[in-house]
Amino acid sequence: MPPPGVCVNIMAARHKKSGYGSLACPERFLNQDYEQLKNFHLIRSARYIDKMFPPDIISIGQGILSPDRLAKVEWKRPGVIVPNPCFTVDGVSRFDFYQGEVGNCWFLASIGALTFQKDILQQVVPLQQTFDQDYCGLFHFRFWRFGRWMDVVIDDKLPTIDGKLIFVHSRTPNEFWPALLEKAYAKVCGSYADMNAGTPSEALVDFTGGVHMSIDLSKAPSNLWQLMFSAAQSKSLMGCGTPQGRSPNTVQENGLVDGHAYTVTGVKQVMSHGNIVSLVRLLNPWGQKEWKRDWSDLSPLWDSVSTEDRNLCLSVRDDGEFWMSIEDFCNFFRDLDICSLSPSFLDGNSSCRWRASLQDGRWVASITAGGCLNDPDSFWINPQYRVKVVDSHDECAEKQEGVSFLVSLMQKPDKRNRRLVTNLYIGFYIFEVNYKSVKGKFPASFFKTHMPVVKPEFYKNAREVMKFTKLKPGEYLIVPSTHKPNETASFILSILSTAEIHVNDEMLNLLALRYGDATQHLTLETFISTMIRMACMHSKLELMTAFTQKCHWRGVSTFLEVEVEVYVHTPLKSETPPARRGVLCH
């Protein structure tokens, strides 16, 4: 048998190849079909109740409400809460909502960023939904989750106390898209309590499937404002967070909240006293509590700028939005998350076309989990990905010093409930290689004698880690790993480049692990006999599938139909998946 998890990975790859899990054909979360459920309840004039995320205390979760308040919770539909509920009122805006009693400011800060990009918002929040025509208490939303777009179905029963929503609520009482979006994401996370605490990067990626970059503001690059401006021009979503204080949600004298997430809503340069000042505009998802120092709403520095800039930028009201200088931003905030559908903001060249490849993989203890490079004797058994970066000789390449190259590694959760997930310490290395020098998987001796061209500064226990670099055209080997050996987990490796790239299929690695010799080489005889055995198994599985339509062996048979790429004799294949995922670590 192949290593554990191989069949599942190949089944996912086959689904992806056919478009399943793409934005055009999202996967049904928990196998719930929105159209079927809607038609079923409309025909019967019934109101939908979601049995997979029921309106009870299990869906709220533990630790966010006191027992007394939890006992008072009543789940009510919007039509019971207000007389004339609407999905949206006068469109959507970053000022539409306020945070409730769960600590998910990171999620709401991401929603605030999402409202700036209406085309992306429409992908996540189907805005044609209504409480009028064809209403049956059923709504749906879409999220990108670990390589696949998911269509998430919910009922519209919302938790209330004394008739008021206890979690996110709208500035306009009869507008409910924020509360329903929050409920859908809570379902994906496992409960409302599972949304407690996080970073904007997580939700930004789940809203877009885009490229994610995290910047430590204590080590901010000198061109940070220019990078943020470029990101804003490329329709990126941005969020940031303040450092943790002695106690959560403490409001400092300067108006900022400790351990809190904010939305980056704008960047601007103004002339003040003859000098150019770079400003950043931020939004507190509480809808109040603003920065009180230089360039705040009441700062006298606004008198030093032109009337045009003052009228364009300044809005003196307690709505949670404010300006501050880029210097204060770096001093008082901990990190910045940028998420974009394209990494073009990283190299400042929006004319370059990026190529993408997404690979599903898995570390399996004692088989493909070799740990970090501290031990080359075990490191070599980690999954290996050969990448050929082709010199395109186009105008874009000529403008750059080397090829822009971005690699992201995202680990998949092993549990549904978000708060129960423990991230492993992960990282990856990139080596320059010569394909002709090694036939098969690179052995331990290679890693003892070759230095990586890219290596992690340190391994991070994050959902994602990412590296942006410049590489010359050539052949490279990417080796993702956990820090410790023998740790089992699934992952997604994303590779993006401004040049043409060819990434090998890992199938032969898996066959070599199971059927190869000590050096993980396959003889021709072994390879042929393996294919014959697999074909025989496949034919029997086809008969079993025909015998019963409910048989689930059909998915397993995809393992036997997968195309196998031989290291030496088969040309490498370029793969552009239908649903791209973004990267970087937090």
Q: Quick one: angle between helices 177-189 and 105-114, nearest 10? A: 130
> Per the residue annotation, which of 9, 104, 105, 352 is the catalytic one?
105
Q: How far is CA 192 from CA 44, 182, 198, 416, in A?
A: 31, 8, 13, 13
SS3 state of residue 563: coil
User: Minimal CA–CA distance to 263: which of 468, 111, 135, 150?
Assistant: 111
- The two three-digit tokens of residue 106, written as one number: 């990171």
- Known catalytic membership, residue 105: yes
| Strand ranges of the sheet holding 138-145, from the earlier edge strand across to the other edge | 27-28, 148-155, 138-145
Reported as type and span, the H/E element at residue 213 is strand 211-216
DSSP letter string over 265-280?
EEEEEEEETTEEEEEE
Neighbour tally for 324: CB within 10 Å: 24
Distance of CA 138 to the CA centre of its chain: 26
- The two three-digit tokens of residue 388, written as one number: 């050929």
User: Residue 583 in contact with residue 406, Cβ under 8 Å?
Assistant: yes
- Known catalytic membership, residue 284: yes
- Known catalytic membership, residue 41: no
Q: Measure the CA–CA gap between 172 and 39, rounded to whole angstroms.
A: 30
| CA end-to-end span of the chain | 37
- Ranges assigned E (strand) in 345-499: 355-363, 385-390, 403-411, 426-432, 464-471, 474-482, 489-497
> Per the residue annotation, which of 9, 104, 196, 284 is the catalytic one?
284
> Per the residue annotation, which of 140, 212, 260, 586 is the catalytic one?
260
Q: Quick one: angle between helices 6-17 and 553-561, nearest 10? A: 80
What is the four-CA torsion angle of 321, 287, 108, 295, rounded to 10 degrees?
20
Active site residues: 105, 260, 284
